[in-house]
Amino acid sequence: MKVKFMDLGRQPIANNFLESRENIDNEYQFHLTVCFDEKTKLVSLGEFVPPKLMFNDSYVYHASLSRTMRSHFGRAARLLRSEFNPACVLEIGSNDGVFLRHFAKETTCAVEPCGNFAKLTNELGYKTYERFWSEKLADEIIEERGRQDLIYAANCMCHIQNLHDALLAISKVLSDEGIFVFEDPSLLKMIERGSYDQIYDEHAHIFSVTALQNLLNMWDLDIFRVQEISVHGGSSRIFACRKGTRSIETSVDDHLVKEHAAGLHNVAAYQNFAERAEQSKNQLTGLLTELKRRGYKIVSYGATSKSTTVFNYCKITTELIDYIVDITPDKQNKFSPGVHIPVVSPEVGFDETVDYAFLGAWNYEREICDKERKFLETGRFITHVPYVRILEGENP
């Protein structure tokens, strides 16, 4: 049975930045709720948004724009090459090719439904199927290129609404000795950090190792290793293979034990998390309102999907946040989804007039504080993770 444990209200598409105020009336909205499946232990949204509304030719998130993500994917690729030496590689959800480009063009292919990115990696010379992942596509890939030794997916599996279809397709295309490696935001980290802003339209599911083990086992796949990784506010990298082909490492049990200790097999942990989110909302709006009352100028740093959830859930508008700064050209000079806060480039908006900046991109705190030393001489960042506070000026 699925139990609904959280309600984040009406929400827009988290990455749908609006060109002008004219688009605002027709903005798509949906009811963002979260459910726990008592049988599989999977945490998923109560309502899914049609994928084409989220992943299309104007998808705005470029992984390569961040130094942290470039080096993260470079390291991941080197590690996988040196340990597993795959003869052929398939990446599902290849974005702008930030991982792909570390592998040979002839033996690597990709699947990417966002046309702007598929075009880019096709032009780089990597065969990219501009499609959503499906069993039909898996069959085509087997026919054209054979089964694959390494299937890699970063921040993509959690986007796929029908996981059974996706895993069936993966189990078909994986070679007998092949490995399937995927990384997504960690449910355990989200619960520990109270980072309710991991919940938005694209994240159809937030994975625990417990739930993944239940699901992968249905498709005769074993999880043989789990790594904790720091990106995206705390993620897990899961290594899977065909049942019985590799020995299961201790990291798998270690994670299962930790999740059990945190109560992730039981709805009570999620209900408690929802209550903490409500408190975080009251504290954040309280802090911003008080700073505004004292006449300070507050902006937001990083027009993230996460901040779409925060601003719409907390009903934070231009009354509290003057504008958002973001380095992504495709988000600049637009309005943020739902609450319609203007987005500008840091060059335009991040200057000495800013007193406080809410860290919408709190997952890049280190990179941003390194970059913004000058701002920190007079200004301060505000974060809500793991609890609402003004960050001291020190370089973390």
What residue ranges bind ligand TYD (CB under 6 A)? 61, 65-66, 302-306, 326-328, 331, 361, 363-364, 367-368, 371
Nearer residue to ligand TYD within complex by CB, 183 or 326: 326
Where is 252: in which H helix or E strand? helix 250-261
Nearer residue to ligand TYD within complex by CB, 281 or 331: 331
Extract the tokens encoding 27: 């903005």
Cβ 363 to ligand TYD, closest distance in Å? 5
The gap from C-alpha 201 to its chain's centroid, in whole angstroms, comes to: 10
Count of beta carbons in the 10 Å neighbourhood of residue 317: 14
Nearer residue to ligand TYD within complex by CB, 297 or 371: 371
**Amino acid identity at 68:** T
Cβ 72 to ligand TYD, closest distance in Å? 11
HSE of 59 in the Cβ direction (CA atoms, 13 Å)? 24
Kindly give the interhelix angle for 163-173 and 135-145, rounded to the nearest 10 degrees: 10
Cβ 69 to ligand TYD, closest distance in Å? 8
Cβ 115 to ligand TYD, closest distance in Å? 19
Nearer residue to ligand TYD within complex by CB, 130 or 367: 367
Cβ 331 to ligand TYD, closest distance in Å? 6
Kindly give the interhelix angle for 163-173 and 209-218, rounded to the nearest 10 degrees: 60
Cis ω before 50 (30° cut-off from 0): no
Nearer residue to ligand TYD within complex by CB, 41 or 232: 232
Residue 119: is it exposed, middle or buried by C-beta count within 10 angstroms (0-12/13-18/19+)?
middle
The three-class DSSP label of residue 55 is coil
Return the ∠ at Cα 153 (arms to 149 and 158), rounded to 5°: 140
Nearer residue to ligand TYD within complex by CB, 242 or 306: 306
